[in-house]
Amino acid sequence: MPGLVWFVIRRLFSALLVMLALSLAVYLVFYAIPTDPALLACGKPCTPDRLEQARHFMQLDQSTMQQYLNFLKGIVAGRSYGEGAAVLHCDAPCFGYSFPLARPVSTLIADRFPVTASIALGAAVLWLVIGVSLGVLAALNRGRLLDRLAVGFALIGVSTPSFLFGLLAILVFGFWLNMVPVNGYVPLTESPVDWAWHLVTPWLVLAVLQASSYIRLTRAQMLEELNLDHITTARAKGAGERRVVVTHGLRGALVPIITLFGLDLGGLLGGAILTEKVFSMQGLGDLLIDSVGNLDVAVVVGVTLFAAFLVILANLVVDIVHGALDPRVSHG
C-alpha cells in the first residue's frame, strides 16, 4: 500500500513542523518569565562573578534565539557545555542537558518513561474492559437498574478529581486494609509480581476515572448501532442475541471507542502527572512538574516534545486503525 506509506511520511513531516513550533513556543515562554535558572546553579555565596560564570557555562548569556538554535543544533550534532577540564559533552541527538539533575534530557526520559508507560498501559487495558463491558450492559438494559447504576458510576467517575480518588484508595487499600504497597515502583525486569503489585492501585484509580467516558460512549454507540437495520437483518437471519449484540452491534460501535482509546492512551503516555505524584512514582509527569519548579528549561522542552510526539503518533495510529476497522474508509 504505497499510498499508506506516503501518508505516514507526510504526517510525520507535519509532526516535525508541529514539534519545531512547539519547542520554540516553550523556549519563548520560559524566557519571558523573569527568573534566572543560573541562580540555582550558582552556589553560595553567589557573587555576581560566579553567577556570570554559571550563566556562561549554561549558555544562558546568549540571546533566546541563539539558545534555541543551539538546542536545534544539539539534536543534529550534539553539543558541549564549558571548555577545558570542566567540559560536559552531550552526544547527538542531544535534547538538552539538565544541570539540576546533572543528566542529559534523553537519559532522563529513557529512565522515566517505563514508569509512566507501566502505569498508562495497565490502566488502559483495565478501563477499556470495564468501560466497554459496562457500556454494553447499560445499553442492553436501557432504562433499567443496571443502566442507571452504570450511568451513575460514570457520573461519579468524571466528577471526582483523580488525586482525591487516589488518596482515598491509598488510605483504604494501603493503610486501613494494608493490602497493597502505598508507593514506589519496581521495574518489570526486576520482579514482574512486585511490579504489578505496586501498580495495581494506580491502575485501578486511573481506570475507574477513565472508564466513565468509555461507559457513556459505548452505551450511546451501542444504542445507536442496535437500532440500525442491519441488526434486524441479523435477527431475521436467525442469529442469537449474543451474536447480534457482539458480532453485529459492538463491531460497529468499536470505531469511535478505539479512536478515543488511542488518543487517551497517547496523552497519558506523556505523563500521568497527578497519579504519579499521588503514588510517588518517578514517571515523566513527575519529572515535568519538578523541572518546572527547578526552572529546568531543557527538561521541560524535552518532556513536552516527547509527550507531543506521543500524542501525534497516537493520532496517526488512530487514523490508520480507523481505516483498518472501517472498510468504508479503506475500501473506497
Partner 1 sequence: MADPILEVHDLRVTFDTEGGLVPAVDGIDFAVAPGKTLAIVGESGSGKSVSSAAVMGILPSNAEVKGEVLLDGRELVGLPDDELRKIRGNDIALVFQDALSALNPYYTVGWQVAEAYRLHHAVSKKAAFKRAVELLDKVGIPDAARRAKSYPHEFSGGMRQRVVIAMALVNNPRVLIADEPTTALDVTVQAQIMQLLADVQEEFGTALVLISHDLGVVAEVADDVLVMYAGRAAERGTVRDLFYRAAHPYSLGLLGAMPRIDVPPKPRLTTIPGSPPSPGSIKTGCPFQPRCAYTERVGERCITERPELTPRPGEGDHEAACHLGRRPEVVS
Partner 2 sequence: MTEELLRLDEVRKHFGLSGAPWRAAQTVKAVDGVSLVVRKGETVGLVGESGSGKSTLARVATRLLDPTSGRVQIGGKDVTKLRGRRLRPTRRTVQMVFQDPQASLNPRQSVGTILSTPFRAQGTRPTRAQLIELLEKVGLSAEHLERYPHEFSGGQRQRIGIARALAVSPELLICDEPVSALDVSVQAQVLNLLADLRDELGLSYVVVAHDLAVVRQVASRVAVMYLGTIVEEGPADQVYAAPAHPYTKALLSAVPMPEPGVTRDRIVLTGDVPTPISPPSGCPFRTRCYKAEDICATDRPVLEIINGQTEHRAACYFPEPPPPERK
Instruction: State the residues that interact with partner 1 by CB under 8 A.
Output: 228-230, 232-241, 243, 248, 251-252, 325-328, 331
Query: What does the alpha-carbon distance between residue 122 and residue 124 come to, in Å, rounded to a whole number?
Result: 5
17 binds, among partner 2, partner 1, none (CB under 5 to 8 A by kind): none
Distances (CA, A) of 206 to 72, 121, 263, 274, 295: 36, 11, 15, 10, 29
Q: Which three cell numbers stand for residue 176?
A: 486501613
Q: How far is the CB of 139 from partner 1 (least distance, A)?
A: 14
Is 122 in contact with 129 (CB distance < 8 Å)? no
164 lies in the binding site for partner 2 (CB under 8 A): no
Secondary element (H or E) of residue 103: strand 103-104
Q: How far is the CB of 309 from partner 2 (least distance, A)?
A: 20
- Residue whose CB is less far from partner 1, 290 or 319: 319
184 binds, among partner 1, partner 2, none (CB under 5 to 8 A by kind): none
Distances (CA, A) of 66 to 76, 97, 121, 301: 16, 16, 39, 16
**Site track 2-21 with partner 2 (rule: CB under 8 A), x = hit:** -xx-xxx-------------
Contacts of 32 (CB under 8 A, 6+ apart): none
**Positive or negative: CA dihedral 44, 49, 52, 57:** negative
Q: How far is the CB of 332 from partner 1 (least distance, A)?
A: 9
233 binds, among partner 2, partner 1, none (CB under 5 to 8 A by kind): partner 1
**Contacting residue, 34, 48, 238, 332, with partner 2 by CB under 8 A:** 332
323 lies in the binding site for partner 2 (CB under 8 A): yes
Q: Which three cell numbers stand for residue 194?
A: 512486585
- Residue whose CB is less far from partner 1, 217 or 272: 217
- Binders of partner 2 among 303-322, rule CB under 8 A? 319
Stretch of 1-9, 21-29, 73-81, 110-118 lying at the interface with partner 2 (CB under 8 A): 1-9
Contacts of 332 (CB under 8 A, 6+ apart): none
Binding stretches for partner 2 (CB under 8 A): 1, 3-4, 6-8, 319, 323, 328-330, 332
